[in-house]
Structure 1
């Protein structure tokens, strides 16, 4: 396992730490693969009752996918392949049989909020910041599945506010919306997550699995295809220029093409 993703068992809890604090724990392809492997580990061991995800340091849970990995994208099909890969990771996390907990401090952005949304319960410090600011940063879009996760948790009005205004929600706002189950101070996150995990570990595994699986099926019952949206946006000049501007730290000039 890469040292960018740390996996450790603590009793009945499998702890996964996104370990790139200097990059605000931005996800590499290897980290995504490691997360999938951790989900497989949790499901294969009857002694594991809870899976907890966290980011190294206090600055970020996950601040998206590492943008440098987008530099090789040249067509809309590259975007479709990327979002399909993301969907597979999110599906594996969401279908993990044990309850999953996202322990959040600081930025929970882009792919980070998608990972958190795929978890069953989210706890956050008061420094938590939640959003998908791609309308002002990269000029890309999300898969239909990820849009569904945001709308399901936040409602359509809040989801569109987050997406269109590229606005970051505070921890208080995310808590008021029901996205975050419990708030705590920065120094209390480990204890708060441990308390949630301990309670979950005492409950009937099959009952919890049935509940989370039923909610997942309800969310997906009428999910339409969205590859045409991804293909158009990732294939645009705006996206290619947005990635370049992000990495070069130069102004964006959106053209709608």
Structure 2
């Protein structure tokens, strides 16, 4: 991997986008590496939660690498968005392992779209977020128009996208775009603290919950039906047996993840 770093400790993996001289901007190679990295971590039974962040103190991801698509045709542009969404953004949203975005600094354009694809977000107090694509004559193409609306509501999404303005971390928290805001030097430890709570629980149940929650936002899918199906399926897992047995025996569960 040339553009990302991965470290693992105590069932938690930390993925760091490592292009500090480019403010961690997303290019095709980085998107491909992120796909491969998340796929490998999702298949690693020892990894129960993932944190993604950016290297340095200035940016999570400052946007996409504009030089890669400045001369694209309409067909090229459509293909870029479709392939990117399938390879990374939709893939990440539907990953069965929980992913927390630790937003340190700027998260603009594709960077905010990446953060919104994660299961939830925490931010440093100096973070700035926005979708400035209309200043380039295009619109967000990696799910930004859809996920921002889901997270902050139609009116706020319309304003943010139309004005191309940035919001600060506290505004993002008030909008529901991020869950927590902490000092930058505390961000990673804070995210690890949340992840450490997640890894104590049933990874099988969490994966089923992610699927059920996401189903609420899929056209033509009844989220309640997915919840019922996944609730029932939970009863056939070793984690359910361990969890209920531990409860009745008044001890902490040790989930096998099966």
1:54 maps to which residue? Answer: 53
1:78 maps to which residue? Answer: 76
Contact 1:148 1:219 in 2 (8 A): no
Matched, 1:118 2:110: no
Which residues of structure 2 form unaligned runs of 5+?
222-258
Look up the SS of the partner of 1:37 in the other structure: helix
Alignment length (residue pairs)? 220
Contact 1:42 1:96 in 2 (8 A): no
1:167 maps to which residue? Answer: 165
Write out per-residue CA displacement over residues 114-163 of structure 1, whole angstroms, 9 at most, x where no aligned residue.
11111112111111111001222x11112484311111011101101110
Aligned pairs for 1:24-103 within 5 A: 24-73=23-72, 75-88=73-86, 89-103=88-102
1:219 maps to which residue? Answer: 217
Look up the SS of the partner of 1:189 in the other structure: helix
1:207 maps to which residue? Answer: 205
Which residues of structure 1 form unaligned runs of 5+?
224-257
1:180 maps to which residue? Answer: 178
After the TM superposition, which segments of 4 or more aligned residues of structure 1 sit over 2 Å from their partners? 142-146
Q: CA deviation at 1:98?
A: 0.8
C-alpha distance in structure 1 between counterparts of 2:153 and 2:173, whole Å = 14
Q: What root-mean-square deviation, in Å, do the aligned CA atoms of Structure 1 and Structure 2 show? A: 1.5
Look up the SS of the partner of 1:6 in the other structure: strand
- Report which structure shows greater RCO (CA 8 Å, sep ≥6): 1
TM-score normalised by length of structure 2: 0.82
Q: CA deviation at 1:222?
A: 5.7
Look up the SS of the partner of 1:211 in the other structure: helix
Contact 2:110 2:142 in 1 (8 A): no
Contact 2:131 2:144 in 1 (8 A): no
Look up the SS of the partner of 2:7 in the other structure: strand
C-alpha distance in structure 1 between counterparts of 2:111 and 2:197, whole Å = 25
2:194 maps to which residue? Answer: 196
C-alpha distance in structure 1 between counterparts of 2:155 and 2:75, whole Å = 30
1:245 maps to which residue? Answer: none
1:151 maps to which residue? Answer: 149
1:212–1:16 distance in 2 versus 1, CA, 3 Å: same
TM-score normalised by length of structure 1: 0.82
